[in-house]
Amino acid sequence: MDMERINSNYSDEIQESVKNVLGTANYILGSEVSRFEQEFASYCGVKHGVGVGNGLEAIELMLRASGLGPGDEVLVPAHTFFATWLAVLNTGAVPVAVDVDLNSGSISISDAAHSVTQKTRAILVVHLYGNPADMESINHFADRHRLLVFEDAAQAHGASLNGRKVGSWGAAASFSFYPTKNLGALGDGGCVTTDSDDLNDHVRELRNYGSPRKYEHTRLGKNSRLDEVQAAILRKKLQRLDSENAMRRELAERYSERLAGIEEIEITKPLPGTEAVWHIFPIRVHRRGELQEALNSDGIGTLVHYPIPCHLQEAVSHLGYRPGQFPSAEAWAKQELSLPIYPNLDVTEVDYVCDRIKRWCRSKARR
Ligand SMILES: Cc1ncc(COP(=O)(O)O)c(C=O)c1O
């Protein structure tokens, strides 16, 4: 991913934003943050947005504000970025692994049904790779089991399902503005979106030392605030998010067309009715390491998201999971390869990547 190519498109706007904030001499929780919160909430189709320090803390604070903590269990996909799990652990609750659907990489509802216990309070869904999970079915499942629904939308700004944006489907949702995200700052940042007035107030207090009013502390909060400079930059970038997501969609369609029908390669197909935003273009391939090396020697950078499934991470060995328990998550971890995708990547570059993949497949078939 060429971050310089991405941000050079915004060079003038970024400089103007920083200059404006400098002029206000108000660097923390000023008007840029509150305007961004309103604009991002309205973009997602919800009442409130609360700017926080990063995506990890956005998850942690929305869960804590909803009353989750020690003694509670939260259903989480086994295949996601580890922050999803870490945030649950940081609240004192226990993440309970659920396998993912092999085709979409999203949490499997049939598997989730087997993991519900007396202690289960919530399901934390991840719109992995910018591909919306099946929120209608998840909400029905959650209603049946009386669970709260939360969305980790760190990779899916602007994605939608049946015309409704991610970030608006559950009790609350979390976003990350890490620089490489579809909506990325020039540093860390995050946001919680919700329709609930209570949750909004509660997260606002938690992000600011548990303080509803200056020097009055009613909760054990943190310092986790989106800062003015990042908010000012994000406001500019939000204006072009839809057009940049459209460019990603075009590139993803090109990849899907060009790689269709190749036996060695599995492509992710978003659910009908969804508009994915392709934060990442994942393929699944056996002998991933060999393909990655071949592409690398042709000057094509690829990454693996993510090589170790969460339930097998050393940090959670105390939870007692073993290899083989979540076969689809483990297959993703073994086989996933992320091909280059970002706005302004040229379609000829996508064609080049596809040609090189096909060449590698042909050379494997001959052996
Ligand atoms: C799915 C997911 N959840 C949470 C996070 C955490 O966000 P941040 O890096 O802003 O803490 C990320 C970021 O990489 C992510 O991809």
Ligand 1 within 6 A of CB of 36: no
**CA-CA distance, 193 to 270, in Å (whole number)?**
23
Distance 86 CA to ligand 1 centre (A): 10
The length of the chain in residues reads 367
For the stretch 97-154, pLDDT in tens is 999 999 999 999 999 999 999 999 999 999 999 999 999 999 999 999 999 999 999 9
Ligand 1 within 6 A of CB of 83: yes
Is pTM beyond 0.95? Reply is: yes
For the stretch 62-81, pLDDT in tens is 999 999 999 999 999 999 99
Res 220: pLDDT: 96
Tokens 């689809």 correspond to what residue? 328
Tell whether the model's pLDDT for residue 367 goes beyond 70: no
Ligand 1 within 6 A of CB of 154: yes
Mean pLDDT computed over 183-192: 97
Res 6: pLDDT: 79
Quick one: which of 74, 87, 176 has its CA closest to 117?
74
Atom of ligand 1 nearest to the CA of 279: 16
For the stretch 308-327, pLDDT in tens is 999 999 999 999 999 999 99
Atom of ligand 1 nearest to the CA of 57: 11
Tokens of 347: 């379609």
Say which amino acid occupies 24.
Answer: T
- 45 burial class (0-12, 13-18, 19+ CB within 10 angstroms)? middle
For the stretch 15-47, pLDDT in tens is 999 999 999 989 999 999 999 999 999 999 999
Mean pLDDT of the residues in the chain: 96
Distance 130 CA to ligand 1 centre (A): 12
Ligand 1 within 6 A of CB of 129: no
Residue of 60, 62, 80, 81 with the most ligand 1 atoms within 8 Å of its CB, for mutation? 81
The pair phi, psi for residue 228, each rounded to 5°, is -60, -45
Distance 82 CA to ligand 1 centre (A): 8
Cis amide prior to 306 (ω within 30 degrees): yes
Ligand 1 within 6 A of CB of 53: no
Res 66: pLDDT: 98
Distance 325 CA to ligand 1 centre (A): 25
For the stretch 242-292, pLDDT in tens is 999 999 999 999 999 999 999 999 999 899 999 999 999 999 999 999 999
